[in-house]
């Protein structure tokens, strides 16, 4: 399969939203556009897409450099989606390798990724790319009053 990895742009928002929906999440194009506007100018963030020769998006990856008191600076993949029609064709691997190269260019020594426990195919993918499971955890969310 032929594709190229390139930086995401705001006009990619609708296609990125469609890929997000393949994971079972809802993403309005206007919301994705607003997020892209913020992300593409932030040098701590990376958003790349895999584009087919006809321009169709086959996948995307979002990574970021994070700084915490307890862990210091590290890089994390915060999202990776490949279209169901393009899986197992090297798209995810190419996106992940591009994000790893970006992390290296910033002095990163490791890349972390979290994967929902129900996404067993993703676990096998990451392990196949050399990622090692370090822990399992719970995710909590509290809605705040406006």
> Mean of the pLDDT values across residues 107-120?
89
> Mean of the pLDDT values across residues 125-140?
90
- Tell me the CATH number for domain 4-128: 3.40.630.30
**Can you read off the two tokens belonging to residue 62?**
């979002």
> Mean of the pLDDT values across residues 103-111?
93
pTM of structure: 0.91
Among all chains, which residue has been given the structure tokens 């994705």?
32
pLDDT tens digit sequence for 73-100: 899 999 999 999 999 999 999 999 999 9
Beta strand pairing call for 45-51 and 57-68: antiparallel
Distance between CA 69 and CA 61 in Å, rounded? 26
Where exactly are the structural domains of the chain? 4-128
Tell me if 49 sits within 8 A of 94, measured CB to CB: no
């Amino acid at each position: 399969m032929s594709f190229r990895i390139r930086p995401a742009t705001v006009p990619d928002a609708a296609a990125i939203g469609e890929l997000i929906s393949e994971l079972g999440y809802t993403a309005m194009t206007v919301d994705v556009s607003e997020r892209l506007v913020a992300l593409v100018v932030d040098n701590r963030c990376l958003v790349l897409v895999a584009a087919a020769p006809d321009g169709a998006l086959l996948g995307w990856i979002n990574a970021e450099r994070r700084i915490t008191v307890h862990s210091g600076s590290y890089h994390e993949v915060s999202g990776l989606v490949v279209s169901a029609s393009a899986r197992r064709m090297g798209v995810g691997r190419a996106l992940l390798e591009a994000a790893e190269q970006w992390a290296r260019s910033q002095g990163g020594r490791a890349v972390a990724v979290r994967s929902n426990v129900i996404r067993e195919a993703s676990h096998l993918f990451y392990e196949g790319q050399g990622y090692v499971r370090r822990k399992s955890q719970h995710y909590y969310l509290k809605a705040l009053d406006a």
